Structure 1
Amino acid sequence: MSTSPPDQNEKNTPPVSRQDNPYTLKSHLKAWLPAFSLSLSTFIFVSTEFMPVGLLPDMAAGLERTLPEMGMIMTFYAWTVALMSLPLTIISANLERKKLLLSLLVVFIAGNVLAAIASSFNVLLAARICIALAHSIFWSIVTPLAYRVAPKGKEAQALGLVVAGASLAAVLGVPLGTAIGHSMGWRWAFAAVSIVATVVLVVMYLILPLLPSSNAGSLKSLPTLLKRPPLLMAYLLTMLVVCGHFIAYTYLTPYLRDIGHFSPQLVVVILLVMGGAGVIGSIVLSNTIGRYPVIMFYLPMTLVALSLLTLKVGMVDLLSAYAICFVWGAAMTGVGLVLQSKVLKLAHDATDVATSIYSGIYNVGIGAGALIGGQVYNKYGLGNVGYAGFLFVLIAQALMIALKLSLRKAVAALEAR
């Protein structure tokens, strides 16, 4: 039995595999670089936003303020973002996105430099408001941009990557800032953020493509968005859960120090564990939410509630503190990812405006949580901030269950007709 001889060209051409093609990995990495640069930007914004959580006692002592008074810088920051997110996003709706991001980073760097040299509480507050103004636009545009720059079919993973950058800030940014503040003084922590932000500015300038404004929405989009009940429910749940979280999280460092009696070094390690859990939570959720949408919607919020409920009990030993903060960090990141994904899907025709509202409401929750946590601290003691936070998350869960039951009854009534 004979066969035809192979073609000469075929004979001399080796088979092509992924390993033999040096451009496969290179092109793959290049496709993800824009999303990575956005992840870097979320890292520095979240690092500086929550820096006071780890440095609250140091800053209070340095500027001769009480802990609840110093906690107000979290409230003013958050409420500035809440008030300015929508108007600033609408004003900047037609601006090219790369130039806008770079401009926001310049303002961000200036605010951190001012915080590092602040001579009084009022100067520090002005610096934080400066950063908050940049934050107001940044979080309104960064998640829609993550969808736009993602490789085709990888939008959820790109969003997860951006959220992971925020979680990584809790792993590295906040704990390292806390360590720097403890060893060199709290001002150096803000100086370090400004240096890292300058590096990120250069990286984004080199990597990001030009990004014309697209589907940003306008003031005319607002009435349409506010007529969507599922979107409004996502906003309400966001505010309640975030408020509950920050009632306790704002005072986590003094809580670990005074209730758990952990050393400053162990406090940094616990913050690292909590931040690392956030990264893990974002990765797990971004890869499972498509397969288990119902479970992944309810589970993270339930775990946040349980973590807050058992926070005081868990301070009896280091292992329990690690476990609770790990679950808490992973679950809270999951809540944010789930609700933000819902907002983007429910408002695909005006993503920037919808996200600016989400960012504003998120920060209403942060500010209210910090404020309520301070009141609980003053009136009922530091040990009760976890229980107060639990009540807010419990209300959010009750609303979800009530909504589910009402929808089920409505469907049953229609079927009965």
Structure 2
Amino acid sequence: MNIMQSDISEANTTEAPPSSQGSWIALLTVAITAFALVTSEFLPIGVLNDIAADLHVSVGTAGLMITLPGVMAAFAAPLLPVSVKNLDRRYLLLGLTATMVGANAITAIAPNFEILLLSRFILGFAIGGFWATAIALSGRLAPSHLPIAKATATVMAGVTLATVLGVPIGTWLSDAYGWRTSFGITSVIGFVVLLLGFKFIPSLKPESAIHFRDLPALLRINKARQGLIIILLIGLAHFSSYSYLTPFFKNSAGFDSATISSLLLMFGIAGIFGNAFAGYSSNLNVRYTFAFVAICFAVVFFGFPLFAIHTSGAFILTALWGFAFGAFPTTANIWMFLHAPHAVEKGMPLFVGFFQIMIASGALIGGYVVDHFNANILLYSVLSFIILAVISIFTLSRGLNNPKQETCSISSE
């Protein structure tokens, strides 16, 4: 993802001027905001059983905590950049950070499941708005001498740290002090970041506006549409099942909390290697990279019910799952840059919304199957999405290789 996003930024015609007022602390402030947002979004995965038991709902129903933010983010990502028009992006970032702080605080004290869902709905607004604007601002937030590629990588490091540290630590805190403590601490982190933002984030006047007619830019390009089909199938498979990973480990495998936290940490660490692999491999052939990622997912979903009930098998398959997911968004973004480079900037808000729809739909599908059947049935069911994705890669997208000029552009980074 880092490589992809850096190239998108360099493709823009409105790069940050040399006189940028950005600084390292402004850039790090936004990176920590990304850490807090991603932790907030996926923290329920590690504490779903505890929330379900405490608020007297089923695990599948508790999965709405993941579905609702995705739904709201899917609307906010394309609509917010259009709606705010000429608003100084400094105030937009601060407002979204404040929204995250408030949403997590409400979650931490929610007296019932209905109020908790309301807080998650509010969080989705912050998630969608942040991702639709933050990446484009990374170059202007950084010191003037820092390349845009490194600035973008710094912001995206917050996402990686959230996967590696945020969710596992949140799960550990939940086991030790209760799930409400995890969300309360995330809210406090957000508040500290908000104070830093008021002090260090510079004025970020918009240089151009995105209009509604610009949003479907990627949908107008055939090669981009082919990629979207593959992304949709793989994304639905992952998000349908990953949302219920902890219930599987607890209910089907019978692992204790310490083992589950270790497995989630393993998932995150493997994701770092998956991201690095995809950045290199997609430069060579993004279609074959997608095929390899899909095959990794297929091995995971087929093997999990059989082998992940044992500790060694669980660690191996969870690492493979984390590797595949770490590679997935990176490959998805690079596909769009290679095959629709001139449409990416204006199409990015809708692309972010597309990802959020996958998260929401996946959690909803997974919740229904878990409630009415079990986690094993869920894993075997999503395997069909992966099979369709592989078929699409080798039929619908057959022969679609990296354009030479774009490949050279990325390789020169």
Alignment of 1:9-24 (within 5 A): none
Q: State the partner residue of 2:83.
A: 91
Task: Please give the alpha-carbon distance, in whole angstroms, between the structure 2 residues aligned to 1:52 and 1:367.
Answer: 13
Q: Which amino acid aligns with 1:128?
A: R
Of the three residues 133, 136, 142, the one matched with 2:128 is: 136
Task: Please give the alpha-carbon distance, in whole angstroms, between the structure 2 residues aligned to 1:50 and 1:268.
Answer: 14
Task: Please give the alpha-carbon distance, in whole angstroms, between the structure 1 residues aligned to 2:115 and 2:179.
Answer: 15
The answer on whether the counterparts of 1:171 and 1:274 sit within 8 Å (CA) in structure 2 is yes
Unpaired stretches in structure 2, ≥5 consecutive residues: 1-21, 402-413
Secondary structure at 2:293 match in 1 = helix
Kindly indicate whether residue 73 of structure 2 is the aligned counterpart of residue 120 of structure 1. Answer: no
Kindly indicate whether residue 196 of structure 2 is the aligned counterpart of residue 174 of structure 1. Answer: no
Give the deviation of 1:357 after TM superposition: 1.1
Kindly indicate whether residue 298 of structure 2 is the aligned counterpart of residue 305 of structure 1. Answer: yes
Q: State the partner residue of 1:282.
A: 275
1:193-252 deviation digits (Å, cap 9, x = unpaired): 011112222344444443332455211213544311222233333322221101211111
Task: Please give the alpha-carbon distance, in whole angstroms, between the structure 2 residues aligned to 1:397 and 1:148.
Answer: 39
The sequence identity of aligned pairs, in percent, is: 27
Give the deviation of 1:33 after TM superposition: 5.5
Q: State the partner residue of 1:222.
A: 215
Q: State the partner residue of 2:409.
A: none
Secondary structure at 2:369 match in 1 = helix
1:95-145 deviation digits (Å, cap 9, x = unpaired): 222221111001110111111110011110111111111112111112333
1:19-65 deviation digits (Å, cap 9, x = unpaired): xxxxxxxxxxx976555443322211110001111111111111111
Bigger CA drift: 201-210 or 50-59?
201-210
The answer on whether the counterparts of 2:173 and 2:179 sit within 8 Å (CA) in structure 1 is yes
Task: Please give the alpha-carbon distance, in whole angstroms, between the structure 1 residues aligned to 2:48 and 2:56.
Answer: 12
Kindly indicate whether residue 361 of structure 2 is the aligned counterpart of residue 368 of structure 1. Answer: yes
Cα root mean square deviation, aligned: 2.7
Task: Please give the alpha-carbon distance, in whole angstroms, between the structure 2 residues aligned to 1:358 and 1:188.
Answer: 33
Kindly indicate whether residue 204 of structure 2 is the aligned counterpart of residue 211 of structure 1. Answer: yes
Of the three residues 391, 395, 407, the one matched with 2:384 is: 391
Q: State the partner residue of 2:393.
A: 400
Give the deviation of 1:165 after TM superposition: 2.1
Task: Please give the alpha-carbon distance, in whole angstroms, between the structure 2 residues aligned to 1:72 and 1:281.
Answer: 28
CA 1:122–1:295: 2 relative to 1, 3 Å: same
Of the three residues 51, 55, 73, the one matched with 1:63 is: 55
Task: Please give the alpha-carbon distance, in whole angstroms, between the structure 2 residues aligned to 1:179 and 1:123.
Answer: 24
Q: State the partner residue of 1:106.
A: 98
Q: State the partner residue of 1:271.
A: 264
Give the deviation of 1:288 after TM superposition: 5.4
Q: State the partner residue of 2:323.
A: 330
Matched length: 379
Secondary structure at 1:65 match in 2 = coil
CA 1:225–1:405: 2 relative to 1, 3 Å: closer
Alignment of 1:74-85 (within 5 A): 74-85=66-77
Q: State the partner residue of 1:13.
A: none
CA 1:345–1:88: 2 relative to 1, 3 Å: farther
Give the deviation of 1:253 after TM superposition: 0.6
1:273-327 deviation digits (Å, cap 9, x = unpaired): 1112222322443455435645444333332232222222221421221111112
Give the deviation of 1:345 after TM superposition: 5.8
Task: Please give the alpha-carbon distance, in whole angstroms, between the structure 1 residues aligned to 2:254 and 2:195.
Answer: 42
TM-score where L is the length of structure 2: 0.83
Bigger CA drift: 96-105 or 49-58?
96-105
The answer on whether the counterparts of 1:181 and 1:188 sit within 8 Å (CA) in structure 2 is yes
The answer on whether the counterparts of 2:249 and 2:309 sit within 8 Å (CA) in structure 1 is no
Alignment of 1:315-326 (within 5 A): 315-326=308-319
Find the structure with the greater CA-based Rg. Answer: 1
Q: State the partner residue of 1:15.
A: none
Give the deviation of 1:261 after TM superposition: 1.6
CA 1:123–1:218: 2 relative to 1, 3 Å: same
Secondary structure at 1:405 match in 2 = coil
Q: State the partner residue of 2:190.
A: 197
The answer on whether the counterparts of 1:216 and 1:351 sit within 8 Å (CA) in structure 2 is no
The answer on whether the counterparts of 2:103 and 2:123 sit within 8 Å (CA) in structure 1 is yes
Q: State the partner residue of 2:240.
A: 247
Task: Please give the alpha-carbon distance, in whole angstroms, between the structure 2 residues aligned to 1:65 and 1:79.
Answer: 21
Q: Which amino acid aligns with 1:96?
A: D
Unpaired stretches in structure 1, ≥5 consecutive residues: 1-29, 409-417
Q: State the partner residue of 2:407.
A: none
Bigger CA drift: 68-77 or 249-258?
68-77
Q: Which amino acid aligns with 2:308?
A: M
Of the three residues 332, 339, 359, the one matched with 1:339 is: 332
Bigger CA drift: 42-51 or 216-225?
216-225
The answer on whether the counterparts of 1:144 and 1:351 sit within 8 Å (CA) in structure 2 is no
Task: Please give the alpha-carbon distance, in whole angstroms, between the structure 2 residues aligned to 1:345 and 1:149.
Answer: 26
Give the deviation of 1:158 after TM superposition: 4.6
Task: Please give the alpha-carbon distance, in whole angstroms, between the structure 1 residues aligned to 2:341 and 2:145.
Answer: 17
Kindly indicate whether residue 37 of structure 2 is the aligned counterpart of residue 45 of structure 1. Answer: yes
Of the three residues 377, 380, 398, the one matched with 2:373 is: 380
TM-score where L is the length of structure 1: 0.82
Give the deviation of 1:406 after TM superposition: 7.2
The answer on whether the counterparts of 2:87 and 2:206 sit within 8 Å (CA) in structure 1 is yes
Q: State the partner residue of 1:184.
A: 177
